[in-house]
Amino acid sequence: MSAAASRPSDPAAHERLYRSLRQQILVGELLPGHALTMRGIAQANGVSMTPAREALRRLAAEGALTISSSGRISTPELSNERIEELAALRALIEPELASRALPRAHFALIDRLAAINGAIADAVDRHDAVAYIRSNLEFHRTLYLRAQSPAMLAVIETVWLQLGPTMRAVYGRVRRQEPPRHHRMILAALRAGDEPGLRLAVRADVTQGLRHLPT
């Protein structure tokens, strides 16, 4: 009997697989409607069916995957209405997180955010959609961690997770030529201690993608 088969409910295997798949979806490595199978996931990751099933069900509960009545598993294909709803959540929560982070936004943090923005610029130059999304989310998360508001951060990370494949598809249509200009506004507001300006810049940044939705 193999080691995987002898430990069908190995919690470590489940957690590793869950985190790996979650990251792939979060940064847009999988496009909307990408089909997955439990057997394929289990074989590709060297685990038994039980950890694969548990990881996929957990991701489905977070809205990162959809499971049809026939059992088909895929990344979500969001309607425009659903995307607008998720974008509205971002517009409500992320300016608040940024505002709460502002009193703790020391110069080292701002320098770190500027460095991440440099990585975003590099991803744009290389037309690397996944690296762009990964660095963009790192920019926001690095700032929001300073808010010390774990419940709000957990909610917004779930929103990002649901939007990951769609953001990859949007990036493929837009073909960016430069980093998000609102990031420069966010950095300037942080340096100036400008809370209204920071809220405005964050809100503009997280909603700007709406104009790229298909009609």
What residue spans define the domains of the chain? 3-74, 80-212
Pairing of strands 73-74, 66-67: antiparallel
As given in the structure block, the two tokens for residue 25 are: 């979806």
For domain 80-212, give the CATH number.
Answer: 1.20.120.530
Domains 3-74 and 80-212 are alike in CATH topology:
no
pTM comes to 0.88
3-74 CATH: 1.10.10.10
| pLDDT in the model for residue 212 | 57
| Predicted local distance difference test score (pLDDT) of residue 169 | 87
How far CA 166 is from CA of 63, 149, 157, 191, in Å, comes to: 13, 26, 15, 32
Give the mean pLDDT per block of 10 residues along the chain (215 residues).
Answer: 46 88 94 92 90 92 90 91 92 97 97 96 91 95 98 96 91 70 95 98 86 52
The 3-state secondary structure of the chain reads CCHHHHCCCCHHHHHHHHHHHHHHHHCCCCCCCCEECHHHHHHHHCCCHHHHHHHHHHHHHCCCCEECCCCCEECCCCCHHHHHHHHHHHHHHHHHHHHHHHHHCCHHHHHHHHHHHHHHHHHHHCCCHHHHHHHHHHHHHHHHHHHCCHHHHHHHHHHHHHHHHHHHHHHHHHCCCCCCHHHHHHHHHHHHCCHHHHHHHHHHHHHHHHHHCCC
What's the pLDDT score for residue 180?
78
Please report the pLDDT score of residue 5 as a whole number: 43
